[in-house]
Structure 1
Amino acid sequence: MYDTWRQWVKIVVIGASAAGGSLCETARRLEPGAEITLISEESLPYYSRCLLPLFINGARSRTELQFRPSNWAEDLKLRVMVGKVASLSPREKKLLMSSGEIVEYDRLGVATGASPYLPSIPGISSRGVFTLYNLQVALSIKRWLPTAKHIIVLGAGLIGVKAAVSMCETGKTITLIEQRPTILPDTIDARAARIITSQLEGHGIQVLTGGTITEVRSGKDFKINSVLLASGEVLKCDMLVVAVGTRPNIDLFEKTGASIRKGVLIDKNMHTGLSGVFAAGDVAEVNRLDSKETLPVANWINSKREGRLAAYNMLGQSIPYRGRLRCNAVSIFGLPLVSVGRISAGKDDEDIMEDITTQTYRRFFFNDNRVVGMIMLGNTAEAGILTTLIWQSRDVASIRHRLLREGTGCLQVDSVGMWQKSKNVHIRSTI
């Protein structure tokens, strides 16, 4: 039976990136008559942050950053508000905007994302120091970049590595600094990291691991001119990009009674525990698909999925979330890399690895005859099907030892490409 209350429901969504946009699209599809308000702090909210490294070096134009057409909100009949939400009153179901305006809701979807973490380093506020997280900062980097010759990137996670590669392609001298022993420590294992490090160094990027910056130095004009490392070494530079992680934007929840750790904790139905309030994307902390741990930071794929599920659940259709799946894909100077799920073996995992050449590496992790993680470097053509195996937790006992040797050749795809079949394994491409 159709729930008539849904056609009168007031839905407010905070945040217009992957999770928030997906929530709006799904809510409108489920309930054509609902009143949906989208609140964003940016006047151009519909762009991909994943493409910002390609934007700063000119490989992508500002228009090419947009992943939704300019009439997207109009077509969905959204009421769009540009501004900042100052506070949330869950009992009254009201939002207070920084402008003083009050916004009422029946269902609230919070997709406020995360902000870059800026470490407490003396001199970190010098001119020429940037993070790379939103379009406004990316535009500032583009303006500064032509005058920079030696650029230091602090943090060799995905954002830091992509930023280093992007700026290196403009002819700049780049030094990449990572505090931990290897680069991309949350994405790949040490062996894959060594291959990627060689790839970076082969293109002129200096990679320093096991160290960090203890001071940023500048002249009388407050422009950065050097950094002091923990080792005592001084490196001259005229630009610093800080990419040492993010913090979920949980300010709205801090005085509401919601459970907070790194992000706001949500249950399997994307609910925060506050009446009518749901969360999705980087702001939320939720269980991982491949372990009992929580994963506080989402990615683009997870965020879109969570936005969809939040819409279903806030409109009365109880669809449980199975959990986040760590999933990353990047190309580093033409060398493709994909990592999904676990990147190290747990206590009860079986670890199978094969190192084919200096630029081709594959490693799979199995638990109870199910693939729970993989690292693929070089040849990643089969990553999509293998990700589906992980996402659907399929029993692959019959082909486990053939996956590395034959790849997904031991699976057979039907004529329409919707189902992949093995003798004892069936996979539906739903991810």
Structure 2
Amino acid sequence: MRHVIIGNSAAGVFAAEAIRRTRPDDTVIMLTDEDVPAYSRCLTSYFIAGLVSEEDMAIRPPDFYQRHSIDINYGCRVEGVDIRATMVYCASGRTISYDRLLVASGARPVFPDIPGISARGVHGLRTLRDARDISSRAAPGAPAVVVGGGLVSLKTAYGLLERGLQVTVVVSSSRVLSQVMDGVAAGMLQRRLEEHGMRFLLGQDAAEVSSSAEGEVTGVVLTGGTRLPAHLVVVGKGVTPNIDFLRGTPVAVNRGVLVNEYLESSVPGVYAAGDAAEAQDLLRKEPAINAVWPNATAQGELAGCNMAGERQAYRGSIAMNSVNFFGLSAITAGLNRAEGDGYEAHTWQDAARNDYRKLVFTGDRLVGYTLVGDTRRAGTLTSLILGEVRLGDRKEALIAGDRILM
């Protein structure tokens, strides 16, 4: 049997390993438009900061593909899939047949449709190539503008700050991390970054990117008319799944590829995992893309098992995020911003120690949390959410901060 995997990151690698464990004699082919072996995308901002090397980012040893008899194809951009003929078409003109297909192609940055956005020196951050390009322009003392107030934007801004650039973050909403955590937690992280020299402009957005006659970026014009000088601009306005090659196919798509509990699409034999897949959200009980590394690895492994002939059901994913800025850690999971009927939130804060805790419950089940400062209980709390544990009278002990036995 021929298994073709589009993608060479977390979901793709874990799927390939799962297939190989179960079907040692099957053919496994991986296609990637990048030029390097699998690496951790989570570390791209740390690469920009100069804290890790490319070698540090590798998630498997150099002989991984050979040792697992995987046919890895670099620089292979997929342009189309013929479901009837079970063929994948690459931009190079190559065609590849499959018996089982996994779409693990990840996502790409979204750029705003504004004048000048294609100037040299304007980047998104998703791949190692992006990180290399950003790093090559990161001249100490130079002005940099980061557009967007999400987690990727702040991690990138942190990396640039560590490299000695003058960093301004432009945020269209009234606060940073509005889609990730509540205002108290976000404010703590913003203040930590400001203490180290980062500048924030809230309630504004980029309206235009200015450039030189040679096409090099020189600045950003904001919606209010303010002009910011910039030697480098990084745009972090979200991502969209890399699934354009499925247009015109019968594979059902919403934001990502819609999959069932076996991570199989509407077309038998075609699976999806990771940031390209819209799978069950454990808590919301509806399809969602919870685009974080642990979810991608879990989905990839299970999809690989099912491609190899097993029948394992996926229980669902939850949203999770973690960050550390200059020694201040924060971790969120689940429905940590949920409010209103059916939800009960409990918060605790020690401002002097930069500690904050928020627990969100539905009845006696923990469904979300935010930890800033002391994050040592994150593992236990995540396990309670994933296990959908009914706490009973242990709920009050958890709210009080006591250690509980699961």
How far apart are 1:45 and its partner, in Å?
3.0
How far apart are 1:37 and its partner, in Å?
1.0
Q: Is the 8 A contact 2:41 2:126 kept in 1?
A: yes
Q: 2: distance between equivalents of 1:219 and 1:114?
A: 31
Match of 1:127 in 2: 120
How far apart are 1:138 and its partner, in Å?
1.3
Q: 1: distance between equivalents of 2:89 and 2:228?
A: 46
How far apart are 1:297 and its partner, in Å?
4.4
Match of 1:138 in 2: 131
Match of 2:54 in 1: 62
- 2:42 pairs, out of 42, 47, 50, with 50
Q: 2: distance between equivalents of 1:401 and 1:210?
A: 39
Which residue identity is paired with 2:202? T
Which residue identity is paired with 1:197? Q
How far apart are 1:58 and its partner, in Å?
1.3
Which residue identity is paired with 1:15? G
Aligned-partner SS, 1:226: strand
- 1:362 pairs, out of 357, 360, 384, with 357
CA offsets per residue over residues 63-93 of structure 1, 9 Å max, x none? Answer: 1111110101111111112212221111221
Match of 1:306 in 2: 299
Q: 2: distance between equivalents of 1:261 and 1:148?
A: 43
Aligned-partner SS, 1:410: coil
Match of 1:348 in 2: 342
- 2:269 pairs, out of 260, 266, 276, with 276
How far apart are 1:148 and its partner, in Å?
6.1
Match of 1:184 in 2: 177
CA offsets per residue over residues 116-135 of structure 1, 9 Å max, x none? Answer: 10110111111211111111
Match of 1:81 in 2: 73
Match of 1:315 in 2: 308
Give the structure, 1 or 2, with the largest relative contact order (CA under 8 Å, sep 6 or more). Answer: 2
* 1:40 lines up with 2:32 in the alignment: yes
Q: 1: distance between equivalents of 2:249 and 2:54?
A: 38
Q: 1: distance between equivalents of 2:404 and 2:136?
A: 51
Which deviates more, 223-232 or 102-111? 223-232
Match of 1:415 in 2: none
Match of 1:391 in 2: 386
How far apart are 1:233 and its partner, in Å?
1.5
How far apart are 1:218 and its partner, in Å?
1.6
Aligned structure 1 segments of 4 or more residues deviating by more than 6 angstroms: none
* Residues 66-215 of structure 1 mapped to structure 2, 5 A cutoff: 66-82=58-74, 83-146=76-139, 149-215=142-208
Q: 2: distance between equivalents of 1:111 and 1:45?
A: 15
Match of 2:238 in 1: 245
Percent identity, aligned pairs only, is 33
Which deviates more, 108-117 or 50-59? 50-59
CA offsets per residue over residues 114-159 of structure 1, 9 Å max, x none? Answer: 0010110111111211111111121111211127611110012111
- 2:367 pairs, out of 365, 372, 376, with 372
Q: 1: distance between equivalents of 2:288 and 2:4?
A: 25
Match of 2:254 in 1: 261
Which residue identity is paired with 2:379? G
Which deviates more, 314-323 or 329-338? 314-323
Q: 1: distance between equivalents of 2:4 and 2:120?
A: 38
Q: 2: distance between equivalents of 1:406 and 1:217?
A: 51
State how many pairs are aligned: 403
Q: 1: distance between equivalents of 2:90 and 2:211?
A: 38
Q: Is the 8 A contact 1:175 1:207 kept in 2?
A: yes
CA offsets per residue over residues 298-348 of structure 1, 9 Å max, x none? Answer: 210000000011012222322111112101111011101100001222420
- TM-score computed with the length of structure 1 as normaliser: 0.91
CA offsets per residue over residues 367-424 of structure 1, 9 Å max, x none? Answer: 13111000000000110111011111111122112113234x222xxxxxxxxxxxxx
- 1:224 pairs, out of 213, 217, 227, with 217
